[in-house]
Amino acid sequence: MPVSRPESSDSRIIAHVDMDCFYVQVEQRKNPDLRGKPTAVVQYNSWKGGGLIAVGYEARKDGVKRSMRGDEAKEVCPEIHLVQVPVARGKADLTIYRDAGSEVVSILARKGRCERASIDEVYLDLTDAAETMLKETPLESLESIDDEVLKSHILGLSSDGKDDRESVREWLQRKDADHRDKLLACGAIIVAELRLQVLRETEFTCSAGVAHNKMLAKLASGMNKPAQQTIVTSASVKELLETLPVKKMKQLGGKLGSSLQTDLGVNTVGDLLQFSEEKLQDFYGVNTGTWLWNTARGINGDEVQGRLLPKSHGSGKTFPGVRALKTVVAVEKWLKELCEELNERLQSDLVKNKRIAHTLTLYVNAYKSTDTESHKKFPSKSCPLRYGAGKIMEDAVNLFQAALREYLGPYIGNQCGGWGVTNLSVSASKIVAIPSGTSSITKYFHSRDQLNDSSEPLGEKFVLEDDHVSPSRTESHPASHQIECGEEEIPITHDISSSDQCETACKDEASGDIAEEAFKLSSGTESCSTLKQKEQQSRLHGKETKMMHPNDGIRSYNQKRKATKEKGTSSILRFLHSNSTSSPKQDNPTPLQETKSLSLGTQEPLNIESQSSSQNVQTTNAWSYKVDEIDQSVIEELPLEIQQEFRNWLRPQKRPNIVKRGSSIAHYFSPTKN
């Protein structure tokens, strides 16, 4: 439903720029021989010549319409040139048109806040640019005005027998004009200049509407095409909307517009003026009723969002008629193609614009051959988005299967009489810029290693195989870690595939002990000489260790888990607090002595003692962090226990509201004790 927003009290100058038959212009720039000739862009399928996507103005003069197919267009205009849209993965590839639209946006954004509404249309907020122009160059003092500006169409302007361009000049340079009209005149000059720049740099023509809000600017941009602009003055708003069909207004083309026609007998926007705001609110609710009341008077408070990049990425395909998909296998085949295309666009957006998407949505249009509930729609489904073509496809297939079960209800199987999918699309939304200063959690460990390398004579490095120890994985496979100490390597290996019990134990410990070991080993508190001594000790007892029963490793884990529960689980917060409270002025850090025994599976246990050096070490370059710069996607990769504890740390509990003694009003009126 539409949202009612109050209009700003200050005058705004908003422009809506719409490219003229954009797809055809892109093809004509690629092939200049098509310029001036009747041209249309058609879909890749060859059935009846393909459906028309865009029709050039030369072909429109001969009666060609977008509702026609290629063969019918040739009958109406035998000279027409039909250009097939590029194809990739068995569907239309619009990349060339998106890139061309980006060229236009980069030019228009030079003068003000820019919102890209689609491939070929843009909103501009030129208020600041118009104010600056009015202060620096009063319109009355302009000696010459570009001919492109004088060709503007100003609604409500009567020529009185004068030349149209001369009438426009007089309107622009009126001395008795109010501030709003003067800003509007400046906006008209700025938009004309921008349109000329687009033509010079891209060879594309565009039309524009200039008004005091987005709604009116959008209506005006399509009134005089191609390559022209229309200005909506405050005095012309009532005349513009009075005869405008209600279905032509944005957000009134669907059910709401039909309800206005059937329930209230409203056929034009002007018909809404006869209803009070309270009456409209009674029919459609407070918000929608207020929006309708404002719309009838040309009031709209929507802001230009300042968005040069799309809000979402999508990939879809239609399967009309006999080409409908009727099996899950066929749906999965096309989901693979769509998800690969979506993944490419997401990866490109990530590299070029440093943005990430968070939500994956599946949209499907389908039917049942024996449908007794024809009004029932195939439900759309969403889930958190995981990057990677394979993961996106896996999630999309799961969403489809869940939606199909909901769509068919209790009649899944042969009893439902079959089904067919006529449209299939996947979309990635909730795209946000990666906050500055955020990075993967692994970068923290690397920075700690570099700090240790600079303070110790022998470097110490911890190599962590993420794919093997990630607690989120359910596969069973061996994993290995190495501690490099000088020129020698001490392998720490464990195999979690020997038994189900050991696998479960390893998964539980991954979020506690192994993570704690990683933190300790990467913190630089273990000297290389100590590690070598421990290695020699472990080798001396190697023979005895090898004779351990295979289940001893499991029992060691169970004992360790029990001891950990009694003592208190190790936390990532201990690590954060220790770093956040560290001070470079500290000269004598408190020695930390801990002994850790790691025994996994049937492997030899390795005893590691962490002991800080007795020498005075001055802490430098202490790691710091800001709460608003923490990447939430990194937190979601942590084990659930650490996630919960981390979020509790980010949002500490509120202090209890304890009333101090003597602070209540009852105490104030209580008798005074002598």
Crossing angle for the helix pair 179-202 and 127-136, to the nearest 10 degrees: 110
Are the beta carbons of 496 and 502 closer than 8 angstroms?
A: yes
Give the Cα separation of 169 and 189 in Å (integer): 11
Give the Cα separation of 290 and 424 in Å (integer): 36
Taking alpha carbons only, the member of 586, 591, 654, 652 closest to residue 618 is 586
Output DSSP code: residue 651. S
Is the bond preceding residue 226 a cis peptide, omega within 30 degrees? yes
Are the beta carbons of 49 and 159 closer than 8 angstroms?
A: no
Catalytic entry in 27, 58, 121, 503: 121
**Two tokens, residue 408:** 């068919």
Crossing angle for the helix pair 95-108 and 22-30, to the nearest 10 degrees: 100
| b/e map 525-540, b = 16+ CB within 10 Å | bbbbeebeebbeeeee
The DSSP element (H or E) to which 109 belongs, if any, is none
Taking alpha carbons only, the member of 129, 137, 97 closest to residue 110 is 129
**Two tokens, residue 77:** 């205009």
The DSSP element (H or E) to which 586 belongs, if any, is none
Angle at 529 between CA 526 and CA 531, to 5 degrees: 55
121 catalytic residue (yes or no): yes
Are the beta carbons of 201 and 224 closer than 8 angstroms?
A: no
Name the residue type at position 27: E
Give the Cα separation of 538 and 517 in Å (integer): 18
The set of residues, in sequence order, having a beta carbon less than 8 Å from that of 382 and lying 6+ positions away, is 359, 360, 361, 362, 399
Crossing angle for the helix pair 550-567 and 500-509, to the nearest 10 degrees: 30
Taking alpha carbons only, the member of 491, 488, 437, 501 closest to residue 465 is 491
What is the β-pairing status of strands 359-368 and 419-429? antiparallel
Taking alpha carbons only, the member of 395, 378, 385, 393 closest to residue 325 is 378
The DSSP element (H or E) to which 233 belongs, if any, is none
Are the beta carbons of 184 and 13 closer than 8 angstroms?
A: yes
* 462: number of Cβ within 10 Å: 23
Are the beta carbons of 131 and 125 closer than 8 angstroms?
A: no
Q: Quick one: CA dihedral 280, 283, 288, 292, positive or negative?
A: negative
Radius of gyration of the CA atoms of the chain, in A: 35
Are the beta carbons of 280 and 326 closer than 8 angstroms?
A: no
**In angstroms, what CA-CA distances link 381 with 359, 396, 475, 646?**
10, 9, 27, 30
The set of residues, in sequence order, having a beta carbon less than 8 Å from that of 209 and lying 6+ positions away, is 15, 16, 18, 216, 217, 218, 219, 220, 221, 222, 223, 229, 230, 231, 232
Catalytic residues: 121
